[in-house]
Amino acid sequence: MSAADFYATIGVSILLAAFVANQRRWLSEHSRPFLAMNLVGAGICAYAAWLARFMPFLVLEVVWALVAAWGLWRWKREAES
């Protein structure tokens, strides 16, 4: 197993765990843990895509991580209000 495969497996496992938790109603899609899992999972997947030099997946995962980061920022801002 290459390093890219290893990191991609970890990253997608985190993303899938967040998805399953949301579908089972254990986590809301607006909750901090859900958003954090998406940020971390997508970030790890982006790193794996960079290692593999697979640009379409890299773009997808970077955008995914940015959207999750934006959601966390928005969550924090709303919590402070």
pLDDT at residue 75 in the model: 85
Residue 48: CA count within 13 A, CB half-sphere: 21
Per-residue pLDDT tens for 17-30? Answer: 999 999 999 999 99
Distances (CA, A) of 21 to 13, 24, 34, 41, 51: 12, 5, 8, 14, 29
* E-strand stretches of 1-81: none
* Residue-range definition of the domain harbouring residue 48: 3-80
pLDDT at residue 38 in the model: 98
Other CB atoms within 10 A of residue 74 CB: 12
| Residue whose structure tokens are 């959601």 | 71
**Do the Cβ atoms of 16 and 38 come closer than 8 Å?**
no
